[in-house]
């Protein structure tokens, strides 16, 4: 789905296939990409809606700061909650385009200075590399500080 979306938008990107890896840090290491440039997604819930957080694989979410950006206290979404939201993706391999899944996307400002980002393409065996500027143009995420 994400590859078709990017092609339809006329954006340049590179598909990278790799050995099956489950964590964002494992995937980054498999591809010899810095964990600081690998964009992982974390889904949170504010009691009413889901939000997609995008941050470097080398960091964890500061839920207090994320809640401040959202405007409400947030918690990590459960696997049971996520499964229907991302039916065409393997659990934990969601691409960082919350808008495609009807949710707001927030990107940590640590990624904002990157020339390119690498992220999962819906499976644990494939990633996409694209220019950060193109990602922002397509997704228009809110940018803030919530990684620790």
Arithmetic mean of pLDDT, 88-99: 91
Condensed to tens digits (0 to 9), the pLDDT of residues 35-64 reads 567 899 999 999 999 999 999 988 999 999
What pLDDT does 38 receive? 83
Residue 47 and residue 114: Cα distance in Å, rounded? Answer: 32
Predicted TM-score (pTM) of the model is: 0.89
Confidence of residue 22 (pLDDT cuts 50, 70, 90): low
Rg of the chain over Cα atoms, rounded to whole angstroms, equals: 14
List Cβ<8 Å contacts ≥24 apart for 23-27: 23/57, 24/57, 24/120, 25/57, 25/58, 27/57, 27/120, 27/124, 27/127
What pLDDT does 112 receive? 85
Condensed to tens digits (0 to 9), the pLDDT of residues 103-139 reads 999 999 999 888 999 999 988 888 999 999 999 999 9
Q: Which residue has the higher pLDDT, 22 or 11?
A: 11
Domain 2-143 class, CATH top level: alpha beta
CB proximity list for 79: less than 8 A, separation 6 or greater: 91
């Amino acid at each position: 789905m994400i590859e078709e979306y990017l092609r339809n938008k006329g954006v340049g990107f590179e598909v990278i296939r790799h050995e099956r890896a489950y964590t964002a840090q494992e995937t980054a290491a498999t591809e010899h990409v810095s964990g600081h440039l690998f964009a992982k997604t974390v889904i949170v819930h504010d009691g009413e809606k889901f939000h997609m957080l995008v941050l470097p694989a080398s960091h964890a979410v500061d839920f207090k700061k994320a809640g401040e950006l959202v405007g409400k206290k947030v918690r990590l979404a459960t696997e049971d909650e996520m499964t229907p939201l991302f039916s065409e993706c393997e659990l934990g391999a969601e691409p960082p385009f919350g808008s495609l899944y009807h949710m707001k996307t927030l990107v940590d400002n640590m990624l904002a200075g990157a020339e390119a980002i690498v992220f999962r393409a819906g499976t644990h065996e494939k990633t996409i590399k694209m220019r950060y500027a193109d990602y922002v143009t397509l997704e228009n995420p809110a940018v803030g500080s919530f990684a620790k």
